[in-house]
Structure 1
């Protein structure tokens, strides 16, 4: 395949996959920079000189033509192969393709993003709004279902840009809100989706499809328990004479509460590092300094029994207001409650409204993150990288996250939360 040029995007980004799929369909390709790091590379001066708003996807062709916004890029790439009419062969077809592509994006794709932001706490959660968004998305899918009930493709008798756009939109929707119960109502939409994504030209781009069985749901943080009032003195009751022995011993055994299973982390070898002592030191000492909590940590840390991790939110491009991002961290920490005795965290929001990232550090029991964090349903929304405190860069990141003065690519710490 002939390469058009360089496409700045992330491999998992659905809009980036859409552009790559269009290129593959018309017999072209785009190059993905191997060293691209989202929210770092696209904030560099050299990137902003080419694409001033710093958005991805962004395309730079071999002859220096530059373009951003996914819709503009897909249309441009589709137009490079006039013998493969992804854009239609008449003004009427072109208009219909634009209609269904726009409908797919605005009525299904945007709602998927809004639902995701609600259930993950990025937007303030209210059940009525969640219901409205879900119902509106289902209604849109039902419109597509009726249209596809008598058609193989959205427009005409061959694949067009509308089909690839819809497939890329459904690709994400089936991992967020379009669960098994919704999919049962739209068999023709799913048939169309699987036809497109499994086409030999497109399967290498779209990859294996993962369907969510149950739509993602908002999990509210646990309410604080009120202190119990002291019980009134018990009034001694008159002893009752025991009746004749009529207790069924087998039935009595069934009524006994079964012992709760032990957490596998409890079976790890004992550690010299006391996490509760560390939490007290962090709370009561200055963070930096000769007598600070960081120095206390280095003097007492047991790297055999505990490990240190960097945590980064995967969907920073969807973050809006920084206070909402801070609430997102709070929700994540609340859902980690069951692992409180194995875990300490310091995470923050860096940047400004509509241009922020979530990052921080965790100190946890054992050498693997998953056994500790998978008690939170949204743990997979974060990337976990083990830090080596003998490495200067890792050590610098760790200390800055603890001190709340972490800075990433010019983005300064604006708010943070601790899990103690």
Structure 2
């Protein structure tokens, strides 16, 4: 008896398992008519799979496998002479790395963007753009890898290609529009090569069209007008709560709601240094001849402090524009501290030989209360700058003027947080 796969045909996680089975020559029992409206999340199902997620694969002996990665690997191993998982242990590890990239760097964050567009998650433009920039940076890396190769690992389709392609399809169908896809022709070629493979075409035959234009953000909910009070009616028997339509992966809210608390920075003694005015001076005057003299005249070293900020993982940086997106993402996540913070951070060097560094001017004498609003703040190192020190002062002025040079690396691009 063949293993039984349960899941919705259009779901990327189901498609990857069916694609693996098709290439490996493994027969699966599968019901194409299955939908989320089907009666599947019942007591019997939850006994077999207490997590309650789809897809699942039930084996002949009653064992139930969950998680598409584990199921796909199991099915691939069943196939006679299957090359979906390389026998070479280094290549096998490379394949598994791409499986992780597909889920963690494309599928899950891409689903958050989709969820914001369809109302499943609260819409936040800054959060959405940060996620899109991150996904674009990963797709750009894949495009470079595929510049001189047909597949990601070796000369044949592996789980690496199937997982990356199914994760990309998830966003190509919903919001990753034609203008974005046009930037990465090698990635699009991989998608077409996999989906049009004769053995795989039936798996993707009922797929929707790729989206051509980025969808408009959801309209903000309108406030309901206050209704006139009505005469009290006789109490009715309470209705049973409407059942929520099950989903393949019911997730916790992306950001749990937290009670608003007063920021302790607001309780610091008043300062004569006006940070908002500094931002205007910096924006409107020449940095070295106008903005810096104003700053030195007005700066309150007791109410504010200056910090050098360095990215910890410069060895992972590739293209300059991608590194600049990294800065933009960090700044977006600092939004909650905008009233307490100014920043000038840049990329110094060239592609594959660069670093991220710069300065922050912030309220108070401790950097942590200001930067910890960004989940990735620990990806950076912070060192207090002393303007009485000539080297520190030179670094500070160079970072503001965007002409900073560090270890022979010249300022290539940058962003301000204002």
TM-score scaled by structure 1? 0.54
Q: Does 1:9 align with 2:4?
A: no
* Structure 1 residues 220 and 26: alpha-carbon distance in aligned structure 2, compared to 1, 3 A threshold: same
Structure 1 residue 288, shift from structure 2 partner: 5.0
Unaligned regions of 5+ residues in structure 2, if any?
Answer: 257-418
Q: Which residue pairs with 1:23 in the alignment?
A: 21
Q: Which residue pairs with 1:47 in the alignment?
A: 45
SS at match of 2:151: coil
**Counterpart among 168, 174, 177 of residue 175 in structure 2:** 177
* Structure 1 residues 181 and 83: alpha-carbon distance in aligned structure 2, compared to 1, 3 A threshold: same
* Structure 1 residues 83 and 104: alpha-carbon distance in aligned structure 2, compared to 1, 3 A threshold: same
**Counterpart among 132, 135, 138 of residue 137 in structure 1:** 135
Q: Which residue pairs with 1:305 in the alignment?
A: none
* Structure 1 residues 34 and 194: alpha-carbon distance in aligned structure 2, compared to 1, 3 A threshold: closer
Matches within 5 A, 1:158-307: 158-207=156-205, 208-221=207-220
Asked if 2 retains the 8 angstrom alpha-carbon contact of 1:148 and 1:188, the reply is yes
Q: Which residue pairs with 2:401 in the alignment?
A: none
* Structure 1 residues 322 and 316: alpha-carbon distance in aligned structure 2, compared to 1, 3 A threshold: farther
**Counterpart among 30, 33, 37 of residue 32 in structure 1:** 30
Q: Which residue pairs with 1:272 in the alignment?
A: none
Cα deviation digits, residues 243-293 of structure 1 (max 9, x gap): xxxxxxxxxxxxxxxxxxxxxxxxxxxxxxxxxxxx99x99856858xxxx
Q: Which residue pairs with 1:97 in the alignment?
A: 95
* Structure 1 residues 179 and 36: alpha-carbon distance in aligned structure 2, compared to 1, 3 A threshold: closer
**Counterpart among 98, 110, 113 of residue 112 in structure 1:** 110
Structure 1 residue 35, shift from structure 2 partner: 7.3
Unaligned regions of 5+ residues in structure 1, if any?
Answer: 227-278, 290-309, 325-420
Matches within 5 A, 1:385-404: none
* Structure 1 residues 316 and 75: alpha-carbon distance in aligned structure 2, compared to 1, 3 A threshold: closer
* Structure 1 residues 81 and 223: alpha-carbon distance in aligned structure 2, compared to 1, 3 A threshold: closer
SS at match of 1:53: coil
* Structure 1 residues 283 and 132: alpha-carbon distance in aligned structure 2, compared to 1, 3 A threshold: farther
Whole-Å separation in 1 of the counterparts to 2:224 and 2:34: 46
Whole-Å separation in 2 of the counterparts to 1:189 and 1:285: 62
Structure 1 residue 31, shift from structure 2 partner: 1.4
**Counterpart among 60, 63, 73 of residue 61 in structure 2:** 63
Asked if 1 retains the 8 angstrom alpha-carbon contact of 2:53 and 2:248, the reply is no
Structure 1 residue 21, shift from structure 2 partner: 0.8
Structure 1 residue 158, shift from structure 2 partner: 0.6
SS at match of 1:4: coil
Asked if 2 retains the 8 angstrom alpha-carbon contact of 1:42 and 1:48, the reply is no
Structure 1 residue 112, shift from structure 2 partner: 1.1
Structure 1 residue 33, shift from structure 2 partner: 4.1
What is the RMSD computed on CA atoms of the aligned residues?
A: 3.5
* Structure 1 residues 141 and 314: alpha-carbon distance in aligned structure 2, compared to 1, 3 A threshold: farther
SS at match of 2:115: helix
Asked if 1 retains the 8 angstrom alpha-carbon contact of 2:57 and 2:64, the reply is yes
SS at match of 2:2: strand
Whole-Å separation in 2 of the counterparts to 1:140 and 1:178: 13
Asked if 1 retains the 8 angstrom alpha-carbon contact of 2:152 and 2:160, the reply is yes
SS at match of 1:220: coil
Whole-Å separation in 2 of the counterparts to 1:180 and 1:104: 20
Whole-Å separation in 2 of the counterparts to 1:40 and 1:4: 22
Asked if 2 retains the 8 angstrom alpha-carbon contact of 1:41 and 1:47, the reply is no
**What is the aligned residue count?**
254
